Amino acid sequence: MPGFVVSAENLAIVLKELRALEPNLRKELVSEMKSAMKPIANDLSSKIPSDPPLSGFGSQAKPPYIWKKPPVSVLTPFAKRAKEPGIFPVVSIAFNDRRPNAGLSILELAGTRNIGRLKNGITPQGIAMVRNLNKRYPVKGKLGRFVIPEFIPKRAEATRIAVGILEKFAKKVGRRLGST
């Protein structure tokens, strides 16, 4: 999902000194980051249709094809390991649509990959699903249908907010966080 990352060295220094300076400052950082990003998360959530985009994802559907508008949350995974060496995630917006309500995960990207390059290609039912879905909710710029394309214009604003908050807390510990 959408997010912002920073150099591990800079983030580690800021977090270490926040803990040393005052243990509650880290909690304050997390709280401020979440509250600042919540309006962006809520705006993205508003772009997800409440009703199922296709009738086969309605209340009679079988898991995981059940459509239910998932709750949105802002995550600040400061303690997580880096996926890439030296890079840690700072903030991300997540939609919890796990089974049995995985409709958003399925329909957001349905039909965006090169069909036919997978093992056995795509089934006739899958082709029909993508065709009908594209009639109502076409893919926007090869990115997705609901959330991902809506985040792209907001990415710069989210990054600016996150960097501003990190710099504010970096100043509290007497160090300047370099942007990377």
Whether 72 is covered by a domain: the verdict is yes
114-147: per-residue pLDDT in tens? 555 555 667 788 888 889 999 999 999 888 999 9
**Averaged pLDDT, 92-109:** 84
Whether 180 is covered by a domain: the verdict is no
Whether 102 is covered by a domain: the verdict is yes
Give the global pTM.
0.79
Q: Does position 97 have pLDDT exceeding 90, yes or no?
A: no
Whether 77 is covered by a domain: the verdict is yes
Whether 179 is covered by a domain: the verdict is no
Whether 116 is covered by a domain: the verdict is yes
Contacts with 57 (C-beta within 8 Å, 6 or more apart), sequence order: 65, 66, 67, 103, 107
Q: What per-residue string of b and e applies to 54-92 under the rule 16 or more CB within 10 Å gives b?
A: bebbeeebeeebbbebbebebbbebeeeeeeeeebbbbb
**Averaged pLDDT, 60-79:** 84
Give the pLDDT score at 171: 77
Distances (CA, A) of 172 to 15, 28, 89: 11, 12, 21
- Band (86; pLDDT cuts 50, 70, 90): low
Look at 134 and 60; give whichever has higher pLDDT: 134
Look at 13 and 110; give whichever has higher pLDDT: 110
Which contacts (CB < 8 Å, 24+ apart) does range 47-54 have? 47/146, 47/147, 47/150, 48/95, 48/104, 48/146, 48/147, 49/137, 49/146, 52/103, 53/107, 53/133, 53/136, 53/137, 53/145, 54/107, 54/129, 54/132, 54/133, 54/136
Q: Does position 37 have pLDDT exceeding 70, yes or no?
A: yes
Whether 178 is covered by a domain: the verdict is no
**Averaged pLDDT, 155-164:** 90
Q: Where are the alpha helices (H) located in the chain, listed in sequence order?
A: 8-21, 24-46, 103-109, 124-136, 148-151, 155-172
List the strands of the sheet with 87-95, edge to edge: 3-7, 87-95, 72-75
CB 156 within 8 A of CB 4: no
Q: Domain range for residue 148?
A: 3-172
Count of structural domains within the chain:
1
